[in-house]
C-alpha cells in the first residue's frame, strides 16, 4: 500500500513538471520577435493597400443634353422593283443568280431576238425606200417660193399665238380643246404658206409612217435585252433559261440596300418635336450591343386615326448591307437639345435617404456629395449644384462606399 502511494506521487509530480514545461514553451512562442525599422513600417502600408476598394471614375463635364424619343421601327428600302419582260419570246440567256450583286446597266436577261431583228430590218428597209423616193421627187420639184412680207408677218403672228396658247394650257387657264384648235390653225397656216412643204411631201410618200414603224421595231428589239436600272442584289428568281415567256411576265426582284430607311411611329403629342435632319440611334435584335446612326429624312403630314401616331422616316447608310428590309428596330430620335449643361452619367448617381448623391475622388478618398439634379435622359443627368466640371466621379464600385473610404482608381 505504501508502495502504491509512492508510485502515485511520482506520476503526479511528472504530470506537474510536463504541464509547466508546455506552459513556458507556448508563452515564449507568443512573444513578439525583434524586427528592424523596415519591417515595422511595411506592415501598416500593406494593410492600407488591402483596404482600398477598386473603383472606376469619369470626369464631370459640360456638354449638350439630348432628350430622345423612343419608338419601334421597321427597316425598308425604296429601291426595290420586280423586273418584267416587255416582249414575248424564249429566254436565251439568264445572267443572274440568287443574291448576286449587279451593276447599273448590266444585261441581266436576253430574249431570243431573231424575230424582232427581222422586223426591224424590214421596217428600216421600207424607211430607206420612202426616203430615196422623196429625195428623187425633190430633185424634179419646183423650187420653194419665198414668202412675201405679209405672209411672213402672218406666220410670225400665228407662231406667237400658238406659243401663248401653249403657255396658257400649261398653267391650266385654257382647255385642251382650245389648245388643239390653236395647234391645228398654226400647222394649217404653215402648210398653206409652204413652210412645211418637205414634211407634207414626206407624209404623202409614206416616209413619216415608215420612220415611226422603224423606231417601234428598234424599240422592241432593244427590249429583248433587259438591263439593271440600278445597282443592287438579285432575289426571288421566277424564270429559267430556255423558258418561253410572254410580255408582262415577272422575272425576278432587284433590290438596293446600300441605304436603308426605317419607318418609326411617334405619338401625336410628340410630333411637334420632330424635325428633318435630327439624329437617330437604331438598335436591331440581330446585332445585340451594336448601334447604327441615322437621320430623320421626312415627317408624315398625316396622323394615323387608329393609334394617333405619325410616321417618321429615317435614312440609314448601310454600306456593309448588314441591315435587311423587314428587320425590327428600336429607335431613339433626338427631340430636344439643351446646350452647355453640367453633366454626370446616370451610373454615378445614388439615392440615400431620399436624396441624390455622387462620390467624387479626392487624394485617394471617396467623398460623399449631395447634388441637385435638373433635366435627365437615360444616359446623363444635368447637375445644378453640388459638384463642378473636371471633378472625378465614381461610376463603378460605389454602391457600398462610405464617406472618406479609401479607394483605388482602376483603369
- Could you tell me the residue ranges of all domains in the chain? 53-64+340-409, 68-77+257-339, 81-111+225-253, 116-221
State the Cα–Cα distance between residues 283 and 213, nearest whole angstrom: 57
Q: What are phi and psi of 282, to 5 degrees?
A: -125, 140
Q: What's the pLDDT score for residue 36?
A: 33
Highest mean pLDDT among 65-69, 176-180, 187-191, 391-395: 391-395
Q: What's the pLDDT score for residue 210?
A: 83
User: Which range, of 51-55, 151-155, 225-229, averages the lowest pLDDT?
Assistant: 151-155
Please indicate whether the domains covering 68-77+257-339 and 81-111+225-253 agree at the CATH topology level. no
Q: What's the pLDDT score for residue 134?
A: 66
Q: What's the pLDDT score for residue 52?
A: 85
Give the burial string for 341-361 (b: 16+ CB within 10 Å, else e): bbbbeebbbeeeeeebbbbbb
Using a 10 angstrom Cβ sphere, with 0-12 exposed, 13-18 middle and 19 or more buried, the burial of residue 155 is: middle
Q: Please check whether residue 246 is in contact with residue 88, taking contact to mean a CB–CB distance below 8 angstroms.
A: yes
More confident residue, 134 or 344: 344
Q: Please check whether residue 297 is in contact with residue 274, taking contact to mean a CB–CB distance below 8 angstroms.
A: no
Q: Please check whether residue 48 is in contact with residue 407, taking contact to mean a CB–CB distance below 8 angstroms.
A: no
Q: Please check whether residue 336 is in contact with residue 67, taking contact to mean a CB–CB distance below 8 angstroms.
A: yes
In which band, very low, low, confident or very high, does the pLDDT at 3 lie, cut at 50, 70 and 90? very low
- What pLDDT digit, counting tens, does each position of 328-359 carry? 999 999 888 889 999 999 999 999 989 999 99
Distances (CA, A) of 33 to 30, 46, 82, 225: 9, 19, 93, 101
Please state which of the four CATH numbers 3.60.15.10, 3.90.650.10, 2.40.30.170, 3.30.70.1230 is assigned to the domain occupying 68-77+257-339.
Answer: 2.40.30.170
Listing DSSP states for 268-324 in one string gives: GGGGGG--TT-EEEEEETTSTT--EEEEEEEEEEEEETTTTEEEEEEEEE-TT--S-
Q: Which of 313, 369, 312, 319 is CA-nearest to residue 344?
A: 369
Q: What's the pLDDT score for residue 205?
A: 55
Whether the predicted pLDDT of 142 surpasses 90: no
pLDDT mean across residues, the chain: 83
What is 53-64+340-409's CATH topology? 2.40.420
Place of cell 459640360: 62
**Strands (DSSP E) along 77-224, which ranges?**
80-84, 89-94, 101-102, 107-111
Our measurement of the distance from residue 195's CA atom to the centroid of its chain's CA atoms, rounded to an integer in Å, reads: 59
Angle between the N-to-C axes of helices 207-222 and 114-140, in degrees from 0 to 180, rounded to the nearest 10: 160
- What pLDDT digit, counting tens, does each position of 23-66 carry? 554 444 444 333 333 333 333 444 444 588 899 999 999 999 98
Percent of the chain whose predicted confidence (pLDDT) is above 90: 52
What average pLDDT does the segment 313-327 reach?
94
In which band, very low, low, confident or very high, does the pLDDT at 115 lie, cut at 50, 70 and 90? very high
Give the burial string for 169-208 (b: 16+ CB within 10 Å, else e): beeeebeeeebeebeeebeebbeebebbeeeebbeebbbb
Alpha-helix runs per DSSP H in 72-148: 114-140
Return the CATH number of the domain spanning residue range 81-111+225-253. Answer: 2.40.50.100
Three-state SS at 68: strand
Which cell goes with 408? 483605388
H or E element: which one contains 38? Answer: helix 37-51
Highest mean pLDDT among 151-160, 203-212, 364-373: 364-373
H or E element: which one contains 170? Answer: helix 149-170
Q: Which DSSP state fits 141?
A: S
Q: Which of 378, 366, 369, 374 is CA-nearest to residue 350?
A: 369
User: Which range, of 3-17, 21-35, 178-192, 358-372, averages the lowest pLDDT?
Assistant: 21-35
Q: Which of 105, 135, 275, 109 is CA-nearest to residue 205?
A: 135
Say what the pTM is: 0.61
Q: Which DSSP state fits 147?
A: P
Whether the predicted pLDDT of 258 surpasses 80: yes
Q: What's the pLDDT score for residue 24?
A: 52
User: Which range, of 34-38, 42-46, 78-82, 225-229, averages the lowest pLDDT?
Assistant: 34-38
Distances (CA, A) of 360 to 315, 342, 404: 41, 15, 10
In which band, very low, low, confident or very high, does the pLDDT at 252 lie, cut at 50, 70 and 90? very high
Those residues whose C-beta lies under 8 Å from the C-beta of residue 118, and which sit 6 or more positions away, are none
User: Which range, of 7-16, 298-307, 368-377, averages the lowest pLDDT?
Assistant: 7-16
H or E element: which one contains 375? Answer: strand 372-376
Amino acid at each position: 500500500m505504501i508502495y502504491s502511494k509512492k508510485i502515485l506521487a511520482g506520476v503526479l509530480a511528472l504530470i506537474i513538471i510536463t504541464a509547466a514545461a508546455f506552459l513556458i514553451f507556448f508563452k515564449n512562442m507568443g512573444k513578439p520577435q525583434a524586427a528592424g525599422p523596415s519591417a515595422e513600417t511595411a506592415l501598416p502600408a500593406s494593410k492600407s493597400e488591402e483596404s482600398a476598394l477598386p473603383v472606376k471614375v469619369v470626369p464631370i463635364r459640360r456638354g449638350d443634353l439630348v432628350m430622345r424619343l423612343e419608338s419601334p421601327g421597321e427597316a425598308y428600302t425604296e429601291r426595290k422593283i420586280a423586273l418584267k419582260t416587255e416582249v414575248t419570246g424564249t429566254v436565251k440567256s439568264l445572267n443572274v443568280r440568287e443574291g448576286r450583286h449587279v451593276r447599273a446597266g448590266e444585261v441581266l436577261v436576253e430574249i431570243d431576238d431573231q424575230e424582232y431583228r427581222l422586223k426591224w430590218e424590214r421596217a428600216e428597209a421600207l424607211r430607206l425606200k420612202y426616203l430615196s423616193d422623196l429625195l428623187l421627187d425633190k430633185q424634179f420639184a419646183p423650187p420653194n417660193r419665198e414668202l412675201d412680207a405679209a405672209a411672213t408677218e402672218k406666220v410670225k403672228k400665228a407662231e406667237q399665238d400658238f406659243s401663248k396658247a401653249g403657255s396658257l394650257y400649261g398653267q391650266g387657264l385654257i382647255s385642251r380643246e382650245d389648245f388643239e384648235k390653236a395647234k391645228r390653225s398654226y400647222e394649217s397656216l404653215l402648210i398653206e404658206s409652204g413652210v412645211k412643204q418637205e414634211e407634207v411631201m414626206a407624209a404623202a410618200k409614206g416616209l413619216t409612217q415608215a420612220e415611226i414603224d422603224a423606231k417601234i421595231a428598234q424599240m422592241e428589239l432593244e427590249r429583248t435585252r433587259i438591263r439593271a436600272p440600278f445597282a443592287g442584289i438579285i432575289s426571288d428568281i421566277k424564270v429559267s433559261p430556255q423558258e418561253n415567256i410572254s410580255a408582262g411576265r415577272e422575272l425576278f426582284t432587284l433590290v438596293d440596300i446600300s441605304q436603308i430607311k426605317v419607318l418609326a411611329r411617334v405619338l401625336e403629342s410628340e410630333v411637334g418635336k420632330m424635325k428633318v435632319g435630327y439624329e437617330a440611334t437604331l438598335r436591331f435584335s440581330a446585332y445585340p450591343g451594336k448601334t447604327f446612326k441615322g437621320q430623320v429624312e421626312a415627317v408624315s403630314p398625316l396622323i394615323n386615326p387608329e393609334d394617333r401616331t405619325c410616321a417618321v422616316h429615317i435614312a440609314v447608310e448601310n454600306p456593309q448591307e448588314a441591315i435587311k428590309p423587314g428587320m425590327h428596330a428600336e429607335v431613339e430620335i433626338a427631340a430636344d437639345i439643351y446646350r452647355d449643361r453640367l453633366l454626370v452619367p446616370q451610373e454615378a448617381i445614388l439615392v440615400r435617404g431620399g436624396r441624390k448623391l455622387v462620390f467624387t475622388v479626392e487624394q485617394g478618398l471617396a467623398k460623399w456629395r449631395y447634388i441637385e439634379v435638373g433635366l435627365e435622359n437615360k444616359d446623363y443627368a444635368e447637375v445644378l449644384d453640388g459638384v463642378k466640371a473636371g471633378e472625378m466621379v465614381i461610376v463603378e464600385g460605389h454602391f457600398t462606399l462610405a464617406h472618406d473610404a479609401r479607394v483605388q482608381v482602376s483603369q
